[in-house]
Amino acid sequence: MMKGHFNVAHHTASPLGHLLRWYELHRQREELARLSDATLHDLGLSRADIQQEAERHFWDDPLRK
């Protein structure tokens, strides 16, 4: 886990856990959108991939599927 990051996926059994998880998803998606094209290329991602992810609703949690 990177500095400043926390894992709330296992705390989603409570309403507060859901809110924390949704906030973290929103924050991560914003961070992804700020990555440079060079960084995305290094990760094997395209700007379109990131745009699609960034446009997902905050409650659209890939871990809940």
Q: Are 17 and 8 in contact (CB under 8 A)?
A: yes
pLDDT tens for 16-47 read: 998 999 999 999 999 999 999 999 999 999 99
Q: Are 41 and 35 in contact (CB under 8 A)?
A: no
Enumerate the domain spans of the chain: 12-56
pTM: 0.67
End-to-end CA distance of the chain: 22
Nearest Cα neighbor of 11 from 27, 23, 28, 29 is 23
